[in-house]
Every structure is written in C-alpha cells, then in structure tokens.
Structure 1
C-alpha cells in the first residue's frame, strides 16, 4: 500500500540538450586531429580545471602532456573544425553511464579567454553555494547557458543582460534570488527556453510575469517554486497573456500559490504543455476547462492540474482532441470517468488517482485508446469490469490501480501487457491464484511488481530470471503458502510479509546481484537456521525476518551489511550470543531482537559501534549481567527496551546522556528513498516508520509522529539499587517502566519534571518513602502503577492522580488518601465498611500492563511496509493475525488464548 504517493516521472536526458539543440540550431562538432586548439584557450581550460575536484576522473583527458596537447580532443570540449577555436563546453554531471559530479569553490574566470564560446553547460556539478560570477555576462557569444542544479546561491547578476545572443537559459534548482526586478531579462530578446525554477522572486516587482511574457521568441517557460510576491498572484489573473505569449509552447508554473488560471491562457494558440500542479486552485474542473477552451484547445497536448483543490465532475474532454497527457491526481473530483475520455485517440497518460471517483469502468471506455501507455487510477472507488477474454488495444508501460476493484478473479487482460515496467494492483479485491504461466513469463521490461494486500492464495511458482534487472516484488499481506520459490538474482526489493510461506530461506542466497536494498519476510511460518550468505547484499537497508520460527545463532555475515538501517529479528527462536560483527553495521537506527532466546551479557559494542541507534529492543531474551555504561553513548536513542531478561546491577546514572529523550523534535529515519532506474523511469518510495501501541485497551497508531515518542522499559529483570535522580532530566520521556525489579529508596523527587509522561510503572519493587508531590504535575499521565512497594504517606492531590484506579496503589500498606479508601491519620473516619480491594491475580494484572507495550513498527515505504514487533509474544501471534481479519473483541481473544503461556513466562522471570 502506498503511504503518501509514488512519484513517477520520465527521465529526460539531463542535457535536455539534444531536443533543444535542434530547436535552437546547435550542431556539436568534435575535434579533428588535423585541427589544433589555440594554446591560449588550452591554458585557460587547464586553469579552469585547477579549480575543480574531479573524483571520477571525468577530466582525465585534460592535461599538459604532449599526447594531450590538442584540447579539441578533451572530454566535453568541442571546437570549430576550421579554426580550432573552443565553441562548446559540455560538462554537465549527467552522463549516459552514470553521475559524474565535479566540485569547485567557484567558476573560474579563465573561461573569459574562450572568446568564441557559444555553449556552456555546467549543470549538476557542485560549486559550493558560490554566486553566479558576473563575468559570465561578458561571454557575449553564448547562445546556450545551463547552470541548473549546480549548488549556486545569491543574486542573479544583472550582467546576464549582455548575452544578447542567448537562446537557452537554465538557472533552475539552485538557491538563487532576483533582486528588485527582472528588467535585465527583457533585454534577452533571442531567448527561446527559460528555466528559473526555485529562484526566489519574493522581492520582485509585481510585473514579473508580464516582463517574461514580452520576450518575443520565448517558446518554453519553466518557473516552478519561485515564491512570487502575493500581490502579483491576483494581478496574474487579469493580464491578457495571449497577445504577449504568442509563440509560447510550454508553460510550467507549478508550486507558485496560484489561485486562478487566466482565461487568456486558453487563447495562446501555440500552447502545447501546461503545468499548474501544486498550486491553490480551488474551483470546479468545468470552469478551469472552459478557461482553456479557446484556440489552445486544439494545440494542448499536456495538462497537469494535479495536487490542487479542484472539485466537481469531469467535463467533456472531447473538445481537446490533441491531449496526450492528463494529470488530475490528488484533487477532490467526484463522479466517474466520462465516456468522452475514450474519444481522446492520442491519449498516452491518464492520471486521475487520489480523488473521490466511483462507479464502474467498462472496456468500451478504452476501446479507442490504442496509444495509452500509463494508467493511474489508484485511491478511488472504481470498479473495472472487463470480460475475461478482453484484449486491450493498448500496451501499457505503467499500470497503477491500487484500491480499484479488479477481482475476485485474477484480471486476465493484464497478461496481454508485454511492455509493463510498473505494475501495481495491490488492494484490488483479488481472491485467486496467480496464473503460473504469467508469473513465470513476466515481461522482460518489468521493474516493479506489486500484488500486495489481496487474498491471493496457493503456491508461488518460480519467478523468471530472464533479463529482469533491479526488479522490485511486493506480494505481502496475501495468503500465499509453501516454500519460497526461486527469485531473480538481481532483485532490488523483496517483500513477502504476512503470508504463509514455510521452510528454509536458503534459496535466497541465489539473489546475489548486489542490488538488494529491502528484504521483508516477516510474519510467515519460515523456519530453520539463517544461511550465512548476507555478504552478497552490501546495499541492504532494511532486513525484517520478524514473526517466524527461525532458530540457532545469527550468522556473522550479518556484520557485512554496512548500510543496514533497520534490523528486525524479533519473535523467533534465535539463541546464543549476538555476533560481534554486528558492530560493523554502523548505520543501524533500529535494532529489534526482542522475543527470542539470545543470551550472554548485553554487548558493550552496541554503544561503541552503533552510534546512530534510535530504537534498541532486546526485551524478552536471556541476557544477564549489568547494563553496560557504553549504552549511554547512544545520544540519539529514543526507545530502550531490555524488559523480561535476567539483567542485574543498577540503573546507570549516565542515563541522562540519552539526550534525544530530553529534547523535542522528530528523528529523521522515517524517510528512506529508493530509486530504481529502468526504462527511463524514476520511482521514489517514501518509507514512514509506524508503531502500534495498546494502552488501557485502546489502540494508538503512531507513524509521522512516532519520532515524538521516548520510551524506557527495564521491567521484569533483577535490577537493584536506587532509580537514579538523573532520569528526571529526560524531559521528553513518554513511557517509563521499571516494574518487577528490586529497586529501593525513594522515587526521585523531581520526577514531576517529566511532564510528557503518559505511562509510568514502578510496581513490584521496594520503593519507600512518600510519593513525590511533584508527581501531581504529570498532567498527561493516563497509566500509573505504583502497586506492591513500601510507599507511605498521603497520595498527592491532583485531578490526574485521583482519577486513577485504586488498584494502581495497592500493596503499599502505609499509603492513604484518594483514590484509596484508607483515610490518612487525622481525617474523619467513615462509618461505612471498608471494601477490600482484591488483587485479581498477578497474571491478569501483569498481562494487561505488559500487553500495553505490544508494538508493531512499519515502513509503508512507497507501497511496501516493513514491520517489526516491539514486544509481540510468539504465543500471541495467531491472535494477532485474527486482528487483521476481525478486530472485534481482539483484546479479549488474545488474553484468553495466551493466558497460560504468559503466566509461565512471568513465573520464569520471577
């Protein structure tokens, strides 16, 4: 399931330049050995190279050696075949064979010696936030200038107005700003392509767009994310752009807070592409389309109105016969898709995802769309009802139909699509087996396959390894059973969680293409020892094997996963010591090893070698010994769980070194971006870490706000000594549980400083003295248990404390005052008989309190989720999955099924 949305876009050759060259009349000429470059220009280029750091050897052909004396043969240098003069520098960082970035503190002025330079492309390099040098304005013969994505900052120099021959200018995606006005731009009368995306226009006069509109030869204007002044937005709607933008073909004004589309846009007869996504358009779609129904209706090919607040139903799109791409996703459209869409014979991309569309779509809608390549219908309430033997007239490249009703049978028409790169039919009500012959013969173009969250059952046949490079597969949350099949060796992502796979996972060792970044096999019935082949997966970021029946020691090859960020092995039968090689996984932020049979001392190397840890979950194992002081080095730690072990000694005073528990703010591990290249597509997946908490029989799911939670759970061990007063410095702590230990002394007097506490459990220790009065300041406290200690005196008065249950204070014979019925000395004695509060049994009480900490962590990353369970007992697993099918009375069922085994667990830990 997609969390957020999948961003999918065509990659343009970043030099965009091939198209633009022909349009502007450029011809790139390479050097000729018979024509030597000019020595002065050669020296200028070498001087330019001195100011650059070339990590990839991009400029290795540039040199002063005799064999390199002809600079016309250097990488990126194009000379005149007649004069040897340097005409063009092609030094963008985006190459056919990869990304090769140059770095420098600035752009060297030695380029001024290239008097005949007509073409300069330095895009994608890193110039360390330096400004655009003013001398660029002196390269008077320039026709093409691209400084986009080059880490430049500061004001755009007005000296660029001297480039009177300039036809192509791209300054986009830097940290630039325009001071006062764009008057200098009006002097570039030859300009045809202009990109100022992400350039700050907030201080520019209100006529910024009018200035741009008067450029007589402008055919392409891209000004995304320009932060224009608010006053200009209202004036924007009333200017007649049709008379000014006469030759305009491409207009991109995304992310600019626009609230209207001027009717005059519809009168730009040359307009082919209009991009207005991510603005503040809050009108009916019919009204917008009426504004574009002038002569532009005959030329318009691409229309992007996505990510706005557009409402209403679909108008008659048939009046726009040239439309190829329609993007209306993430709006508030209702109704269903009109039949008029089927009359757009040239349509290639249809994206209406994430709206409120409903109804049935029949095959007749697509009967004339033979050129359709990309279909996005996800996150609506649409049903696709096609006959079983229907053969579409199109061959799709992208099919994204999440949450559409395609079932119950597997949609047979998908088997006809032989050019698919991206297929997502997750949560589509499919209750069927996957046709063996289809999965075994996937199209060689496929890169992403997502069939998750259906009711697909049966065994999974082998997935063909033919020509499948970088394939991502998500089959999670189905009912697939049997052993793991053979998968392609070059998998990037494999997500099989929440199925019924069984047996060993040794066959996965054949996935050795060095591309695997995510492996999630959680919540199946897999078993056996882990194979020692993790050294094949150097790029692995997420490994989740939770909720299976694996046993034995963890193989040492896990330590070779230097990029691993999430490791979830919880709820298995792993045993033995943790391999010391894990200290090499220095990128780990989440390590969940709870609910196993791990033994030995808690390793000190966790604090030494894993400095980025945010979640450390070792609960319900057989660890013994003291808590190593080295754990205090984990300054980013926000959840520490060591409960249900045999840990002794004291609680370290250095616990206040967990500075992340003392500070507000979210951690940053929630977002992991995976990019898959294939068939000129880029897929960006957003992983959001989430957790399920059960508190007082209510469920709380945290995802985006999970970073606000801070938890320490040391319960059910053999800790002794005092609870250090330093714990009062962890000001953002939300949950503290040190119950069922041998702690003595008074409760820290300043514990009331922990004003964010929602759950505090100090029960079944030997705390003495009075309850600190500061505890009355814990206004967010909803769960408190101080039972079975040696506390005395009056319970402090506060609305929060007196609203709690008397059971939370029992077992302290010298305590008095509400909510207990025992009166404090000197208070009037009630004549009414006392009601004896009975302990309903350690097992029942402790079950309730212990189950509170059952958590499930998830990565709904893009459309994959990676789940880790914080304290989900193996004996609860079957009841947990009942929750997925029937949430009614789930807590009651879970408690009933698991009471006996849980009681044994508590007996073992005393």
Structure 2
C-alpha cells in the first residue's frame, strides 16, 4: 500500500506546529541582542576604564552573551546588568585591579526594560550619582554600594516607582581616599513608598536631615529591611507619629550612630522584626522588658553602647526564635542566673551565639548554662565571674568557641570541658584557676585549634598529662602561662607542629627542646614565646622563619651562640640567658626588619657590630650587662628611627659616638658602667627629644654642656661616677621636666645653684607613669623607680649653703648632698619637703641645731646627718634611733647618742 495515501492533512498540521514550537524554543534559549541596546551598552563600556579586562567579552553582535549582561528569553531585551567587582577582599591588589573606573554613560537610559543594575564595589573616584539613573524607570534592583560615589543623593531616584531594592552603602575603599555621600532631604523616598522593600544607606551622611529621618523611612509602607549603619544620625526619637508604618519591617540596623538615648518603646511595636542591630549607638539606661513582644526576633545586637546598665532581663531568655544575642561592652551588672533560667524553661531555645563580654557581671556561673544545648559561641570574658566551671557545660555538645578569659574564676576547671568534640577555640586566660588538668579534660577535643590558659603566678595549676600522650587535636595557636607543664617538654606539645602562635610562659619546662620541633614549626609560626622557664640547651642554627614576627626566649638557661635565624621578625628577646660569643656581623641581613632587640643579661663578647646601623627600622637596642668590648659603633647616621639605646654595664671604651646626634628621635640613652672617656659630644643637642640620659660610671671629663637647658623633655640626668668639673650651671635649672638629677661622685665645685627651685617638675609633677613607660621599654624601670624625684650631688666639691629654694621642690623624694663641703644650717622649714623619703647630708660642714620641723616629715625613712658640725639636742620626736645617723657631730647630745645634754644633767641634780 502506498504510504503517502494513508497520510492525512492533520498530520502535516501537527508536524508544522511541532516544527514551529521547536524553532521558538531554540530562539527562546538563545536570545539575540537588539542592535540599539547593543550600541547603548558599547557607549556605556567606552566611558569606563577596565584594568582587569572583565569587559573583554563585550564585542561581537550578540550582547546577550556578554559577561554581566542578561536578556529576556522571549523578547531579547536587556533586563539585567551585573558588573559587581568579583574580587571582594577590599584593599587587595586583586580588588583594586577588578574595580571599574571612569564615568557612567547616559546611554543606559535607552535600555527600556532594564530591571536590575549592579555597579557595586567599583571605584568611581568621587563621582556624583548621575541623575539620569532616576529615569531608568523599569529598575527594580539598584546597587551602587562601595563604589566611591559622593555628593547629594539625587532626588530624582524617587521616580523609580518600581524599585524594590536600593543599596547605596557608601563606605569607600578608593586609593584616592574616602568620599562623602549624603542626603539632606529624604522627601524623594515618598516616590518609592509602594514598591521599596529593602534599602541600605550605610555610611550615607544623614546629619542634615535632622529629626525627621525616622518619619521619612517609616512612610515606606512595604519596607522589610532598613540599614542605616554609621549615618551620623544624632538622635533617636522616643515616639512615632500615628501615620508612621513600619509594621512589615524585618531587619533594622541603626548601628554606629550617636543616638544617645534610651531604647525607645516604639521598637516593641515592630512585631515582624527578625534582626535588630543597635551596636555602638551610645544607648543609655536599662534593657526594657518590652523585648518580650518581639516573638520573631532571631538576632539582637546591643553591643558596645557603653551606657546600657542594670541586670539582663529574663524576658530575653523567653524569646522562642532568638539565635544571636550580643550584649558585650556595656555596663550590665548583677548575676545571670535569672536570665539563663529563662532559657532552661524555654526547652525549644535555639540560641547559637551569646556574647556577654566586657560588662560588670558577677557571681558564679549557674548550672542552667547547660540548657543552651544548641549554643556554638559563648563569650563571657572580661567580667567578674567567680567560682568553677559548672559541670553542666558539657551538655553544650555543639559548642565551637568558649571564652571565659579575664574574670575572677578561682576554682577548678571541670572535666565537662572534655566533652566538646566540635570545640575549636578555648580561652581560659587571666583567671585565678587552681587544681589539676588531666587527660580526661582533653580526651574528646578533636577539633581544637586554639587553646589559651593562664592564671596568676602564685596559683597552683598543673597540667598533669602522661609524658608520652598524643592528643586528638592539632593546634594552630597555644598560650599557656603560669601553669606547670614541665619539667619535660612533653610529647603532646612536641606533636603540635602546625602552630602559627606559641606562648609557653612560666610553665616549669627545664629540659632542652628538640631541635626538630623548631624546624617543624619554622615555616608557619608567626609568634614564638618561651619566656620565664628554665629551658636548657642550645638553639638550632641556620633556620629560616619566613613568617615570624616576634621571638621571646627570655629568662631561660639557653646556651651557645646567637641563633643565625633568617627571619622577618620585628622583635627579638633573648635577655637573661647564658648566650655567649659574638653577634653575627651580618645581623642586618639575617633580621632586616628588626625594630626591638633585647639581648641584655647574657655573656655576649666581642665588638658590637656596625651592621646594626644598617637596620633602618631599629627602634630599641638593649645590650646591657654583657661583655661587649671595643668602641661603640660610630655609624648611626644610617638609622633614623632609633629612640632607645641601652649598652650599659659592658666593657666599652673610647668616646661616645658623635653620630648618635643623627638620631633625632632618640629618647633614651643609657651608656653607664663602661669605660667611655672624653667629653659629652655636642651633637647630642640635636636629639631634642631626649628624656633619659645615664652616662654614669665611666671616665668622662669636661664641664656640663650648656645645651642641656634645651632638652625640655629631659626627665632623668645621671652622670655619677665620672670626672666632670666646674660649677653646676644655672642653665640646668631651666630643664622644666627634670625629675632625677644625679651628679654624684664627680669633681663639681662651687655652691648649689640658688635657682634649684626652678625645677618645677620635682615640685609638682604627676607624670611618673610616662617616665616609667619610657624606661621600661629598655628594661630599666625597676632600677630607676626608687630614684624618682631625686637630687644627688654627693661626692663632689660643692660648697656654700643649702639654698632655701630647695624647699619649693615639694615632690622631692630623695636628697643626697653628702661628701661635699656644704656649710650653713639645715633650713628651719625643712618640713615643707613633705614627701621626702631619703635625706643624706653627711660628711659636710653643716652647723647649728637640727630643726624640730624635721620630725614632721612622716614619709622620711632614711636619714644621715653624720660628720658635720651640728650642735644642741637631737629633737625628741625624731623616730631615728641609730647612733650612726648622728655620729661625728661633737656638739650634738641626747638620745640615741651616749652624750647627755646639759639640761638633762641639771634635771637629775
């Protein structure tokens, strides 16, 4: 039978329809660009600068296939342009390269069906938002965030009546600096009131809007998300008008403004709220109980307001949907029992994040803490909690971070901590723990990466772990201080070879650390502190630590030569060990970025290498109490950042290098207890910021340089034990900040300057803390602390009388004028030195009676008046009953001397 005869017309109709459908389907799947829109896009491209080449696909006839362009599948018209910077790590080279720059061409207005425009995270270098964007009336989504726009937000954006999402977040990451985007009038929002659901205007300056800002946003009736982060809003209205409508609002972020008000009650009428951010807003008062109305609330952030106070209301524990709660950095006080008890009653609580850190919360941690079974982050640090860790804490099986640091917890650390299989970060620093941690405390911590445990030095906290035990975790960071884990360097530490931060301070380790451990951690470690142990042995040589920033091996028993470690470290502390031998000549090559070098109290020998001058960033050099010899390098013109040099107590000879005067930033110069000779170089007057000079115990000669009067910041001048001559110049009295003056053991002559009362810092200064910080940096604070507010002119050839002006130095603590030829009387009003602790006038020619007012100085602890020409009776109220204080005064009488005064003899007769 002929097949053609059997085919009916309906078959051809059906086939045609199938063919047409398939043709339409293929066309729909591959829309072709409309030529006029293609031309519009090319004009837009030509106005941009594209360093990354991510618009390189914008060529050829089909614009619908270009990167970042989407066309409607049916009409082929451009509906979406997404040119967001794909590299979102700000300030990275990739981010900067990925930024589009230039201008936005008005050809975009020819895209009549464009509903989505994203130009975010680019760099338009302060360009104002073009007004023509307000004429793209088809837009439903507009994102111009973090693209460095500036100026006034154009009011014409109110014409975008279909707009549903507007993101103008204005934080700028431009190389040219920050740019200010502002809105002085929010009336344009009314045009968006029927469509807009999401708006982000973070970092947009709204200070010009005044108090009307909230009313303007509240009239956008469909608004679900409102982000006004850091908008320089200065007030938070305590009430809303009856016409305001934010009933649909789900997310509200008003963080980092200056609201300076209590939490307003109108917030509790926003019953659709899921997320509320009010951090860094300077909110005041207590947390209202009205939060109980926000039954859908999932996130509440009231952190860093500093002014929120009172107890945490228990109603927060009753919120059934609450997952994230941050109340940190406030003034909240009291206990947290009631707050946590509410969570225990709320059996379905879903809290996963709780941060109560940096408040004034107190009391013990209740067992109800264990009711937070879904909690992943718990931060209770920097409060005043006491007691032990409750055993119920082991119920929080999902916990990933636990921070109890900086409290007053003084009990044992329970074994419940050992149940956290998902725990990554455990911080138990800065408490007063005691007791023993055993294997059971760590047995299940399979995910642990960060472990911090410190207590006070006098507490008995011990890690009693088997020496061969290998733990289930491999740490990234460890910090243990004042906790005994030695004397061996245990196996559980030896297997931690992926560490990037290590602090093992005062842990009782005495054995040598295997060289292989240093080698295994060398590639990753950035922070290495093994201080205040008794670790023996030698350090491995010739290792490379490419990431290491800080090395502190101080106060141990390390031996051997200086480690030839190649590192970019900025701080090296090897002090108080037994290192010996010379410093490497190429220390500048090994440690080119060194800023602070502490090598004091070792046995290093040889010359101080001049290559130290080649370390351009060197700020502090502390080589005190070694055996360095030769001259101090005269090469400091090559370094301009140094401000602390301590090479005291060595065997240095020669002269003080004149090149030190090139260190304009020099603040502390300690060269004492060497064999330096010659004069103080005049170049030091260029170091106008000098605060502390100690050249004592050398062989220096000459007169005091007159330029000392120009060192207005000079706090301490110690030149004792040299051979300086001549009078003490009056110019020294003009050093207004001088607190410590020690010129003892020289050959100064002449009278004490009468202008000594001009040392006004000794008279009324309260700035010892500044001095202490400066000196501590070069590790000399304890040595000089007892000398604060002191004058020591002993052991010279001074003559004349004690000047009356000295009584004006009311903060003077130490006055030593002994071993001179000072004559005259002790000032009658000596009691005006009401804070005097030490007075030594011995071995002079002082005459007359001991003034009765001396007994009125209650702070006086040490007194020596021996070997003078004092006469008369010793005042009965003086508390000093040691004969040696008064001997050598032939005409003195009365207790404690055996010589009785005439009136005492007459009274007996």
TM score, norm. by length of structure 1 = 0.70
What is residue 782 of structure 2 aligned with on the other side?
Answer: 691
What is residue 61 of structure 1 aligned with on the other side?
Answer: 125
Q: Does 1:147 align with 2:219?
A: no
- 2:674 and 2:793 mapped to 1: Cα distance? 21
Deviation (angstroms), 1:760:
0.6
Q: Does 1:318 align with 2:394?
A: yes
Contact 2:260-2:281 within 8 A present in 1 as well:
no
Deviation (angstroms), 1:575:
4.1
- 1:259 and 1:293 mapped to 2: Cα distance? 20
Deviations 1:460-486 (A, max 9, x none): 3336334225x1111111122333222
Of 321, 326, 338 in structure 2, the residue corresponding to residue 251 of structure 1 is: 326
What is residue 510 of structure 1 aligned with on the other side?
Answer: 588
Q: Does 1:439 align with 2:518?
A: yes
What is residue 417 of structure 1 aligned with on the other side?
Answer: 496
Deviations 1:505-524 (A, max 9, x none): 35474268674343222212
Deviation (angstroms), 1:650:
3.6
What is residue 119 of structure 1 aligned with on the other side?
Answer: 200
The DSSP-based 3-state class of the residue aligned with 1:807 is helix
Report the CA distance shift for 1:408/1:662 in structure 2 as closer, same or farther (over 3 A).
same
Q: Does 1:242 align with 2:306?
A: no
Deviations 1:260-295 (A, max 9, x none): 21122443723222222344444333xx232x344x
- The equivalences for 1:654-669 within 5 A come to 654-663=755-764, 665-669=766-770
Report the CA distance shift for 1:452/1:604 in structure 2 as closer, same or farther (over 3 A).
farther
Q: Does 1:76 align with 2:155?
A: no
> Which shifted more, 566-575 or 346-355?
566-575
Of 809, 813, 822 in structure 1, the residue corresponding to residue 899 of structure 2 is: 822
Of 845, 857, 863 in structure 2, the residue corresponding to residue 778 of structure 1 is: 857
What is residue 499 of structure 1 aligned with on the other side?
Answer: 577
Report the CA distance shift for 1:443/1:540 in structure 2 as closer, same or farther (over 3 A).
same
Contact 1:556-1:579 within 8 A present in 2 as well:
no
What is residue 260 of structure 2 aligned with on the other side?
Answer: 178
- 2:743 and 2:772 mapped to 1: Cα distance? 26
The DSSP-based 3-state class of the residue aligned with 2:537 is strand
The DSSP-based 3-state class of the residue aligned with 1:760 is strand
Of 333, 358, 378 in structure 2, the residue corresponding to residue 302 of structure 1 is: 378
Report the CA distance shift for 1:746/1:278 in structure 2 as closer, same or farther (over 3 A).
same
Contact 1:342-1:369 within 8 A present in 2 as well:
yes
Structure scoring higher RCO (CA < 8 A, sep ≥ 6) equals: 1
Deviation (angstroms), 1:727:
1.5
Of 395, 403, 414 in structure 2, the residue corresponding to residue 338 of structure 1 is: 414
The DSSP-based 3-state class of the residue aligned with 1:401 is strand
The DSSP-based 3-state class of the residue aligned with 1:341 is helix
- 1:556 and 1:728 mapped to 2: Cα distance? 45
Report the CA distance shift for 1:397/1:513 in structure 2 as closer, same or farther (over 3 A).
same
What is residue 301 of structure 2 aligned with on the other side?
Answer: 221
Of 793, 800, 804 in structure 1, the residue corresponding to residue 881 of structure 2 is: 804
Deviation (angstroms), 1:757:
0.9
Deviations 1:837-891 (A, max 9, x none): xxxxxxxxxxxxxxxxxxxxxxxxxxxxxxxxxxxxxxxxxxxxxxxxxxxxxxx
Deviation (angstroms), 1:156:
5.1
What is residue 34 of structure 2 aligned with on the other side?
Answer: none
Deviations 1:712-761 (A, max 9, x none): 22222233333322211111111111211222322233321011111111
Contact 2:576-2:600 within 8 A present in 1 as well:
yes
Contact 1:195-1:223 within 8 A present in 2 as well:
yes
Contact 2:363-2:384 within 8 A present in 1 as well:
no
The DSSP-based 3-state class of the residue aligned with 2:437 is strand
Contact 1:575-1:598 within 8 A present in 2 as well:
yes
Contact 1:535-1:561 within 8 A present in 2 as well:
no
Q: Does 1:608 align with 2:707?
A: no
Contact 2:254-2:277 within 8 A present in 1 as well:
yes
- 1:88 and 1:644 mapped to 2: Cα distance? 75
Contact 2:292-2:319 within 8 A present in 1 as well:
no
What is residue 697 of structure 2 aligned with on the other side?
Answer: 595
Contact 2:487-2:509 within 8 A present in 1 as well:
yes
Deviations 1:99-128 (A, max 9, x none): x98699xx96658699699434449x9x9x
Of 627, 631, 634 in structure 2, the residue corresponding to residue 555 of structure 1 is: 634
Q: Does 1:647 align with 2:730?
A: no
Report the CA distance shift for 1:392/1:774 in structure 2 as closer, same or farther (over 3 A).
same
Of 257, 272, 277 in structure 1, the residue corresponding to residue 352 of structure 2 is: 272
- 1:101 and 1:598 mapped to 2: Cα distance? 53
The DSSP-based 3-state class of the residue aligned with 1:312 is coil
- 1:102 and 1:764 mapped to 2: Cα distance? 70
Deviations 1:815-834 (A, max 9, x none): 233333333344426999xx
- The equivalences for 1:879-890 within 5 A come to none
Deviations 1:657-676 (A, max 9, x none): 33332226343437869xxx
Deviations 1:611-648 (A, max 9, x none): 33333333333444443444434433322223223333
The DSSP-based 3-state class of the residue aligned with 2:429 is coil
Report the CA distance shift for 1:214/1:537 in structure 2 as closer, same or farther (over 3 A).
farther
Q: Does 1:404 align with 2:486?
A: no
What is residue 609 of structure 2 aligned with on the other side?
Answer: 531
- The equivalences for 1:449-848 within 5 A come to 449-462=528-541, 464-469=543-548, 471-507=549-585, 509-510=587-588, 515-536=593-614, 540-551=618-629, 552-553=631-632, 555=634, 557=636, 558-559=660-661, 565-609=667-711, 611-663=712-764, 665-669=766-770, 690-691=781-782, 709-798=788-877, 801-828=878-905
Contact 1:317-1:341 within 8 A present in 2 as well:
yes
Deviation (angstroms), 1:550:
3.2
Report the CA distance shift for 1:359/1:779 in structure 2 as closer, same or farther (over 3 A).
closer
What is residue 448 of structure 1 aligned with on the other side?
Answer: 527
- 2:245 and 2:439 mapped to 1: Cα distance? 55
- RMSD after superposition: 4.7
- 2:597 and 2:520 mapped to 1: Cα distance? 23
What is residue 869 of structure 1 aligned with on the other side?
Answer: none
The DSSP-based 3-state class of the residue aligned with 1:438 is helix
- 1:634 and 1:802 mapped to 2: Cα distance? 36
The DSSP-based 3-state class of the residue aligned with 2:531 is coil
TM score, norm. by length of structure 2 = 0.70
Number of aligned residues: 734
Deviation (angstroms), 1:254:
4.2
Deviation (angstroms), 1:590:
3.8
- 1:561 and 1:511 mapped to 2: Cα distance? 22
Of 277, 295, 308 in structure 2, the residue corresponding to residue 194 of structure 1 is: 277
The DSSP-based 3-state class of the residue aligned with 1:669 is helix
Instruction: In structure 2, list runs of 5 or more residues that go unmatched.
Output: 1-86, 90-97, 110-121, 135-142, 193-197, 637-659
Contact 1:439-1:463 within 8 A present in 2 as well:
no
Contact 1:383-1:406 within 8 A present in 2 as well:
yes
The DSSP-based 3-state class of the residue aligned with 2:761 is helix
- 1:72 and 1:186 mapped to 2: Cα distance? 32
Contact 1:538-1:560 within 8 A present in 2 as well:
no
